[in-house]
Chains A and B, each alone.
Chain A
């Protein structure tokens, strides 16, 4: 197996990032939006690991990726709890239905 080089990894990271942003912008389902966030975070993680292999970033990149995985899990736990709370009060998780706060 030949080395595919840094740019191939960055491309994967960028595609994940764009998919995530599009998902965040278009999904109306609250859980869908959170899945978009996960895609963005993992796109960044691919970048970190690739940079740690190919640049002078070194071990820092991999450590950052590990920390981000943990942070993403914590954030997802809180976000899902909040989505459940929203569902209990509104009987939907459509983010557009949260329209009582305006002005």
Chain B
């Protein structure tokens, strides 16, 4: 009854309880800073301050400030305490995992704002709207990553989705942009509705909406009823399936991926880059939180639930990766190709979640001795590392697409022929991003994939089906080689047609430096993996 507790806290005026609210507000500071910068941006336009100070400075400073606050929280958490704190009477949770994702998202926000400043996609007139939507979506994603209650889950997803719909249709007077936004909003609203109905059934049967109480309540329901044949158990299964629909939409998993290529094709490339990394990362954080709290300690009926969820996600992961890679193969438009590549990468990352659940299902068995306790966190470490590398390689690819579009007004792969002769910087950085997306060894993408496949391999000890997942992952990496390399080959090996629009960019100009920084990080994460993987493992331990 956390809402009752919350209301009582407000009404009674107890000093100790007010202190707990103050503590929650302090923890909530990064989100509050972002909210303040949204208000500032809108007020600045009201008083015509945005003519003097460009709006992106408000957004950029707000994003940086909240990133610094998250860093400070990380430092504080490492020094003083190791116990997760429930904030706002248990609606959200504050632990290393949520700090990791909030840091990830605010860092990403700063990079996206910098990109939009360099490419100039919102003009001065629209900038306050665009940056408010962007910051609002990031606040929603941060709520998703720290949710500890089914209501926060839904609010977070909606807060992240609704601004995304608007940003997709942000280009006015473009037929494609408006069509993309309409498709996105129709699918998105439908999926959210189905998910909410699933949540209502789950909360009703388990009698709680608190994540930490889901597992014990589920065990109690399962124990008091006669197993899978019982209506209550079936209803829980149906509810979980409906919630899975909402997640599948957010993660663009087959068969709920239709919106993804259309939305990315119609939206500006910057928005595509934002959606492909930000909303995926937040949705994975939420999925991991929900599934690990459902799996609980993996005893009794929970073991069965965890195993079947894990295998189900594994099957979806296989279908998603295969479909994404095969469909990307025939694309002519680079944004569409990157959208299918996003679908495929969501499949790879889902393999980590699947491996995690399968490994969790034998937590209490003593059959697998040794470092078995470490396997769950290891799978999570793989997912977090992959997400970090994915941030740079995907953002880099979308940034290059946006920069080339600004000069050639084209996003067809054929128009990229021989760009290496005119802008070697962009061509080389694009090649680095593409090679990393395939997972070629010296680059960051390789280690992300290696971590995930290693944990899937560990999971093969538990269930034979994980061998199929592992084989599908390996095969898909080979398939993906062809279409990623096609882009690199078109840019670097072909000759530029004489009638093509010339592209020019000095190697020391700020867009070129931005692209070099992002793809440099991809190389860096492939060579020096230790600091980030340690932080990822540390964050992963918070869940267990």
Residues of A within 8 A of B (CB): 10, 13, 17, 20-21, 24, 30, 33-34, 36-37, 40-41, 43-45, 47-48, 50-51, 55-61, 63-64, 67-68, 71, 74-75, 78-79, 81-83, 85-86, 88-90, 95, 98, 100-101, 103
19 A–B contacts from the bound complex (CB under 8 Å): A10-B204, A33-B186, A37-B189, A40-B194, A44-B196, A56-B207, A57-B203, A57-B204, A57-B207, A59-B3, A60-B203, A64-B151, A64-B209, A75-B189, A75-B192, A79-B189, A82-B182, A89-B175, A89-B179
Q: Assuming A60-B203, A89-B174, is B182 touching A75 (CB within 8 A)?
A: no
**Chain A residues, CB < 8 A from B185:** 78-79, 82
A39–B7 Cα distance when bound, in Å, is: 30
Selected contact of A30 from candidates B1, B162, B182, B331, CB within 8 Å? B182
Q: Is the CB of A85 within 8 A of B186?
A: no
Please report the C-alpha to C-alpha distance between residue A67 and residue B190 in the assembled complex, in whole angstroms.
Answer: 18
Q: Given A10-B204, A36-B190, A64-B154, 8 more contacts at CB 8 Å?
A: A13-B200, A17-B197, A64-B150, A64-B151, A74-B162, A78-B162, A82-B166, A103-B336
CB-based closest 5 A-B pairs = A40-B193, A51-B204, A47-B200, A56-B207, A98-B179
- Using Cβ atoms and an 8 Å threshold, which residues of chain A touch B166? 78, 81-82
| CA–CA, A94 and B169, complex, Å | 17
| Cross-chain contact B186 with A47 (CB below 8 angstroms) | no
- Interface residue? B333 (CB, 8 A): yes
Q: Are B196 and A57 within 8 A (Cβ)?
A: no
Measured CA separation A82–B174 after assembly (Å)? 12
Q: Is the CB of A48 within 8 A of B203?
A: yes
Contacts of B336 in A (CB 8 A): 103
Residues of B within 8 A of A74 (CB): 158, 162
Nearest CB of chain B from residue A43's CB, rounded to whole Å: 6
Contacts of B261 in A (CB 8 A): 101, 103
A95's contact among B186, B189, B193, by CB below 8 Å, is which? Answer: B186
Q: B353 near A: Cβ within 8 Å?
A: no
Chain A nearest CB from B24 CB (Å) reads: 17
- Chain A's interface: helix, strand, loop or mixed, by majority? helix
Task: Tell me, in angstroms, the Cα distance from A60 to B504 when the chains sit together.
Answer: 59
Question: Using a CB-CB cutoff of 8 Å, which residues 160-174 of chain B contact chain A?
Answer: 162, 165-166, 169, 172-174
B541 within 8 A of A: no
Q: How would residues 353 to 393 of chain B score, 1 for a CB under 8 Å from any chain A CB and 0 otherwise?
A: 00000000000000000000000000000000000000000
A64 touches B203 (CB 8 A): yes
Is B199 positioned at the interface, with any CB of A under 8 Å from its CB? yes
**B489 on interface, CB distance cutoff 8 Å:** no
- In the complex with contacts A67-B151, A68-B154, A75-B158, A86-B178 CB distance below 8 A: yes
B181 in the interface (beta carbon within 8 A):
yes
Query: Does B281 sit at the interface, judged by CB under 8 A?
Result: no
Residues of A within 8 A of B204 (CB): 10, 47-48, 50-51, 55, 57, 61
For residue B2, CB closer than 8 A to chain A, the reply is: yes
Q: Across the interface, do A98 and B199 meet the contact criterion of CB distance under 8 Å?
A: no
A24, closest chain B residue (CB): B190
Chain B residues contacting A100 (CB-CB under 8 Å) are: 175-176, 179
Nearest residue (CB) in A for B171 is A85
CA distance A81 to B165 in the complex (A): 10
Q: B182: which of A44, A56, A83 is its contact (CB, 8 Å)?
A: A83
CB distance from A91 to the nearest CB of B (A): 11
The answer to whether B178 touches A44 (Cβ under 8 A) is no
- Taking the closest CB of chain A, its distance from the CB of B262, in whole angstroms, is 4
Q: Which residue of B lies closest to A55 (CB)?
A: B207
Q: Does B201 contact A (CB under 8 A)?
A: yes
- Most chain A C-beta atoms within 10 Å of own C-beta, residue among B150, B193, B204, B208: B193
Is B265 on the interface with A (CB-CB < 8 A)? yes
Determine the distance from Cα of A92 to Cα of B175 in the docked complex, in whole angstroms.
12
Task: Report if A44-B200 is in contact (Cβ < 8 Å); known contacts: A37-B193, A81-B166, A82-B182.
Answer: yes
Q: Answer whether residue B114 sits at the interface, using C-beta atoms and an 8 A cutoff.
A: no
Interface residue? B155 (CB, 8 A)? yes
Bitwise, B318-334 to A at CB < 8 A (1) or not (0) is 00000000000011110
Complex: A38 Cα to B473 Cα, angstroms: 39
Contacts of B180 in A (CB 8 A): 101
B266 touches A101 (CB 8 A): yes
Residues of B within 8 A of A90 (CB): 175, 178-179
Residues B203 and A44 in contact, CB atoms below 8 Å apart? no
Residues from chain B with a CB closer than 8 A to the CB of A33 are 186, 190
Instruction: For B172, give the chain A residue with the smallest CB separation.
Output: A85
Query: Taking CB as reference atom, which chain A residue is nearest B157?
Result: A71
Shortest A86–chain B CB gap in Å is 5
**B183: Cβ under 8 A from any A Cβ:** yes
Determine the distance from Cα of A47 to Cα of B199 in the docked complex, in whole angstroms.
10
Contact A82 B181 (CB under 8 A): yes
Instruction: Answer whether A44 and B165 are a contact pair too, CB < 8 Å, given A59-B4, A82-B182, A90-B175.
Output: no
Shortest B161–chain A CB gap in Å is: 8
Pick the contact of B178 from A10, A55, A63, A89 — CB < 8 Å?
A89
